[in-house]
Structure 1
Amino acid sequence: MRPFHQLLVYRFGRGARFEGQVVGMLERLEVGGAIRVLDLLFVGRDDSGELFGLLAGTGRAGGLVSRLLTFRLDPDKRQRATRELPKDLLDGLGNRLAPGEAFVVLLISHEWARELGQAVARLGGTALPSEFVEHTTLTDAVARILDVARATP
């Protein structure tokens, strides 16, 4: 069975206030069992233009809160975390940021999809390609559904 991982990338402009809303939402989604945070990357430039970043690593979102708080409040730990990032990743994202801007990158596992896939497999079903769409009803997605069905053996 293939993994149900998703890479999410968000860009924040000048003036974004990181006060824990995103991490709080991730915690709530994990506690509910919908997702699992595999990795979190934060890269930003402060108002002076200094580049900083943190790769939070694997684990539960609950552990992210203390790590992000320490990163935010302790300049020595922020510098250490920044030095630990792969240089090509830090520079590649940092070169696209103006002072005051930031990227947040998440790699998440869709636990609900994994569990549903296991239930389908136990019944002899096979997962077909899936994707995120903007449609709000299946009747709006008829053409895409038929494309997927035609592509199966």
Structure 2
Amino acid sequence: MMDIGPIQLIAFAFERTDRFKGEIIKELNDLRKRGVIRVLDLLFVMKDEQGNVMSFQDSQLSAEEEREMGNVLTALLGLDGGATAEGQAASEALAMAEAEYGLTMGDIQALADQIEPGQAAAMLLVEHGWATGFRDALLDAGGRMVAQGFLTPQVIMMVGREIQAVAEAEAAIEMAHAVKGAAILDALATMVEAEAVKEAAIEEAVETVVAAELVKTAAVADAVRTLIVAGMIEEAAAEEAVATLLAAGLLEAAAVEHAEGVIAQAEAVAAAAGTKDDDSTSMGEPA
């Protein structure tokens, strides 16, 4: 039995028969020479107005392959007056080659029935030798062909429009995400700025309160000094007055402690200066 690669049947219908110029055969021969395909069978079928069938056939099969397979399309389409041993062998060979690929016998025979009187059809049975190894690998992996066929320009245009629509939709979604992200960043930036303003305001308020307390403390201290100078209170009673003002909250303890520290430091400096003067006087007396 022949080892045949994936088989494809291509059928073309012609509504008229007066425009053939030989270009079809020329292009087909070019494909043959380049080894893209191998023509197992080419069948041109035409029906006259009375329904009589006239045909032309061609093939790239060798003499041995022709003896084994016979006229494949003629047998498959039933144009030779019935099934023959050669046709049966051809069917078996095709069944081995296809392995669930392509059209069934009923599908192929239906193509011939579609030819109307005064019209023609070309049926091309080609072997895709380039795909033999690929097909075998698929079958070995448990795969099977579930669909095959050509795409018309209309389908390609439709798919192109759908792809463009999907791309535009994806772009719109990306833009929406970008806008949303920018809005979130703006909101975060605004919140950060607001927190900064809030912190600055708090710091300014604290500084204002501290300054106010210092002013208040200075004012109270000035008032106490004024009372002492005026003789309205004794200097010895100044400490009691300060304690009273602290209890009333009119003076800050920290300010008083700071003032006491300054006074203590001044007294220490004065004491040190007095001691130095005494030493100088003693040294100046005659022995």
Normalising by structure 2, report the TM-score.
Answer: 0.30
In the TM superposition, 1:31-46 aligns within 5 A as 31-46=33-48
The unaligned stretches of length 5 or more in structure 1 are 61-84, 141-153
Judge conservation of contact 2:38–2:129 (CA < 8 Å) in 1: yes
| Cα distance in 2 for residues equivalent to 1:132 and 1:105 | 15
In the TM superposition, 1:3-82 aligns within 5 A as 3-46=5-48, 50-59=52-61
Q: Quick one: structure 1 residues 4 and 127, their matched pair in 2 at CA, closer, same or farther if it must change by over 3 Å?
A: farther
Deviation by residue 1:66-110 (Cα, 9 ceiling, x = unmatched): xxxxxxxxxxxxxxxxxxx51369x98776444431011110011
1:50 is displaced (CA, Å) by: 4.4
The unaligned stretches of length 5 or more in structure 2 are 63-78, 84-108, 164-287
| Cα distance in 2 for residues equivalent to 1:47 and 1:4 | 37
Judge conservation of contact 1:4–1:111 (CA < 8 Å) in 2: yes
Q: Whose relative contact order is higher, 1 or 2, with alpha carbons under 8 Å and at least 6 apart?
A: 1
Tell me the equivalent position of 1:132: 149
Specify which structure has the higher proportion of strand.
Answer: 1
| Cα distance in 2 for residues equivalent to 1:13 and 1:57 | 25
Aligned equivalent of 2:118, options 100, 115, 119: 100
1:48 is displaced (CA, Å) by: 6.9
1:42 is paired with a residue whose SS is: strand
Aligned residues: 109
| Cα distance in 2 for residues equivalent to 1:108 and 1:23 | 14
Larger Rg: 2
Judge conservation of contact 1:7–1:107 (CA < 8 Å) in 2: yes
- Percent of aligned positions with the same letter in both sequences? 30
Specify which structure has the higher proportion of helix.
Answer: 2
Deviation by residue 1:42-61 (Cα, 9 ceiling, x = unmatched): 1102467643113334439x
| Cα distance in 2 for residues equivalent to 1:111 and 1:16 | 34
Q: Quick one: structure 1 residues 13 and 96, their matched pair in 2 at CA, closer, same or farther if it must change by over 3 Å?
A: same
Judge conservation of contact 1:14–1:99 (CA < 8 Å) in 2: no
Q: Which amino acid aligns with 1:104?
A: A
Q: Which amino acid aligns with 1:33?
A: G
Computed over aligned residues only, the root mean square deviation of the Cα atoms, in angstroms, reads 4.0
Normalising by structure 1, report the TM-score.
Answer: 0.51
